[in-house]
Amino acid sequence: MIYQENEAKAGTCIPSGRAALVTGGAGFIGSHLVDRLLREGWQVTVVDNFDPYYDPAVKRANLASHRGHPGFLLIEADVRDREAWWEVPGSYDVIVHLAARPGVRASLEDPEGYEAVNVGGTRAVLDWAVERGIRQFVHASSSSVYGVNPNVPWREDDPLLLPASPYARTKVQAEELGRTYAEQYGLRFIALRFFSVYGPRQRPDLAFTKFARRMLAGEPIPVYGDGSSRRDYTYVGDIIEGVRAAMDFTDASCMAFNLGNCHTHSLREMIEALEAELGVAARWQRLPEQPGDVPQTWADITRAERLLGYHPRTSLRDGLRELHAWLRTRPLPLPLRKPCAA
């Protein structure tokens, strides 16, 4: 376990006292949450192992601006490492567990590895939460738990979960684990089912960033299927609003929420929107549908609207503008450590 000790910088704000532990806080979604919490004056501890699924330098860059912030502590450790957990200092109001091995297609090649991190790792974090008496546990689940369920838009109380990949199954299993811990140990377990998150710092294996970089470089984009598959794309800023509200949610001991947009676009429409934003025509490299891919995702967000006050506001056009602005600050494509597809 490696700690990054902090050196307080003159003029930085003094933390207000609420403390959060964010696993996976160096990643795409996690680093946006860390930004937000530090701005609000939280004490934030990140546990992340800088997993090489994509270049760890990208993740270090995500957190670079917080080095030296008095409210920020980085612990470089694997969430499965129970010895490391016992050494984590401090007490926390809430855990936001985002660390996971992501990626539907890559999970087909290493289902055991995905299960070890996404289920075994979640169990280790839950055990630590119980041991430390931490009452609030917010967990990153996924729209993929619904899989090929044809009853769209998907509602959280639909019992028909038909995960179509090892990754999706790990998310179902982790939710079940959390439910058991809520019943047995009295911690509050909130599963947030994220829907196709995009925006600045998006993972390089995901379609928006991958396509945009290739289009800007004049390269063809790999399109699986005929472009008719539909996704409920959700801007990362809206997702962070939902995560933040879930951190304060106390009205049930166990609850799942869809954090989506409730507005779907086909892959073809998404590429057209990217073309308009980038001012570049995409050249399609047509590829067959991939195992594990699902034809559509579509969130019913009524529950999150009602109980979390979650109201996604960012249109695809505005979100792509933000993504494009960020890409301009990162002109070089960052290499993937492993070949992985969106």
Residue with tokens 């067959």: 288
Closest to ligand NAD by CB, 79 vs 299, is 79
Q: How distant is the alpha carbon of residue 338 from its chain centre?
A: 19
Smallest distance, ligand NAD to C-beta of residue 304, A: 14
Comparing C-alpha atoms, which of 223, 109, 240 is closest to residue 165?
A: 109
Smallest distance, ligand NAD to C-beta of residue 259, A: 9
What the block records as the tokens of 172 is: 């179902």
Closest to ligand NAD by CB, 41 vs 76, is 76
Q: For residue 176, give the DSSP letter.
A: H
Task: Please list, in sequence order, all residues whose beta carbon lies within 8 angstroms of the beta carbon of residue 279, skipping any fewer than 6 positions away.
Answer: none
- Count the alpha carbons within 13 Å of 126 in the hemisphere toward its beta carbon: 27
Contact positions vs ligand NAD (CB under 6 A)? 23-24, 26-30, 48-51, 53, 59, 78-80, 98-102, 117, 121, 140, 142, 194, 196-197, 203
Closest to ligand NAD by CB, 280 vs 326, is 326
218-222-225 Cα angle (round to 5) = 145
Smallest distance, ligand NAD to C-beta of residue 101, A: 5
Smallest distance, ligand NAD to C-beta of residue 281, A: 26
Length of the chain: 342
Active-site hit among 53, 114, 167, 233:
167
Closest to ligand NAD by CB, 265 vs 280, is 265
Smallest distance, ligand NAD to C-beta of residue 195, A: 7
Annotate 278-300 with b (16+ C-beta within 10 A) or e (fewer). beeebeeeeeeeeebbbebbbbb
- Ranked by CB distance to ligand NAD, the top (closest) residue is 27
Q: Pairing between strand 136-142 and 94-97?
A: parallel
What the block records as the tokens of 39 is: 């701005």
262-265-270 Cα angle (round to 5) = 135
Closest to ligand NAD by CB, 80 vs 244, is 80
Smallest distance, ligand NAD to C-beta of residue 333, A: 16
Q: Do 321 and 277 form a contact (C-beta atoms < 8 A)?
A: yes
Which segments of the chain does DSSP mark as H helices, in order?
Answer: 28-40, 56-63, 82-86, 104-107, 111-115, 121-132, 166-185, 207-216, 236-247, 267-278, 302-308, 316-329
Q: Do 18 and 42 form a contact (C-beta atoms < 8 A)?
A: yes
* Annotated catalytic residue 167: yes
Closest to ligand NAD by CB, 169 vs 281, is 169
Residues acting as catalytic residues: 167
